[in-house]
A and B are shown apart, each in its own frame.
Chain A
């Protein structure tokens, strides 16, 4: 692969790069070229793997190990991405990266031997779920997944319950309670058949709200206990200490107004 090619790739999207890969660079590629192209796609998505791996630090595993597991998901995504579906590569890759990291954590934390038949069924379920996502661009419903695996919905529920109970047994209760992404495919991640926009979507949005609230708590804590002085920040940003102070007060007042709307209204009244 020439230097010109590398420069040309820099301007292409993930989807375009994978298009080239699947097209063998127009039929002229050597194995080495394809390998370099694959590496290019992986390189530019390393940040995505790291950001997802960070969310699983509560598992007690080392970040490097989680990232390594995530790479496997990323490589699978590069190999299996279907351009024809029209979904974004990052969406598909995130799905597989999370799956591999969860898989890794489950394997590491399993203390009770899982019966062979459950392992085999779990493997089939995972494959069916991945294939469904690839084809449809969304997670399957319980009924759809049961249909793919060729078991009844009731059997699938029992299988997932049994597997989750066994694979999460060694993770301590606190971690399980605070796990923002309990492991796959959890019953909760399957949309109820009767309500396509029901509990599953709301749970996923609620999880995002929790992430944002965690950041918000850290910022507020930092503003009170850990920060630089207003004068230092003013100097760094070319603002006066008074401007920085006003901005900080405004931001905190806005947060207070959102968290305690009634109290905020009362304090405004008394200030008036």
Chain B
């Protein structure tokens, strides 16, 4: 299992997430769905980690970006990724854990 990288700011988070999402596309295309799902899960973890300390990100104040609006958009990303995982992951036959 890979470790989640700890993006310290929004741009770092987005860069890392995009990289992993592109990697997951490659993995699904090469018929490695399990590894693809792992990459998607790592993105979800990174977003959760970032959201937990969103108030401390100076980039949001410099830009400036509204934290609650950003939070909703990142939740939207999480929802979309969860739906992809739900459609793929055989583990979904077992009860899912609450986030």
Contact = CB atoms under 8 A, between A and B. Distances in A.
Interface of A: 13-15, 47-48, 50-52, 54-55, 85-88, 90-91, 94-95, 137-139, 196-198, 201-202, 204-209, 211-213, 215-216, 218-220, 222-223, 226-228, 230, 232-233, 236-237, 239, 244, 247-248, 251-252, 254-255, 258
A197 B76 contact: no
B interface: dominant SS:
helix
Contacts, number: 163
A55 B73 CA distance: 9
Contacts of A239: 58
B58 A233 contact: yes
Interface in B21-39: 21-22, 24-25, 28-29, 31, 33, 36
B62 A223 contact: yes
Given A208-B81, A251-B9, A254-B15, A13 B62 contact: no
Given A54-B76, A197-B88, A209-B22, 16 more contacts: A14-B98, A48-B79, A86-B96, A90-B79, A139-B87, A197-B31, A197-B33, A215-B10, A215-B70, A223-B59, A223-B62, A223-B63, A233-B58, A237-B56, A247-B59, A254-B15
B64 A88 contact: no
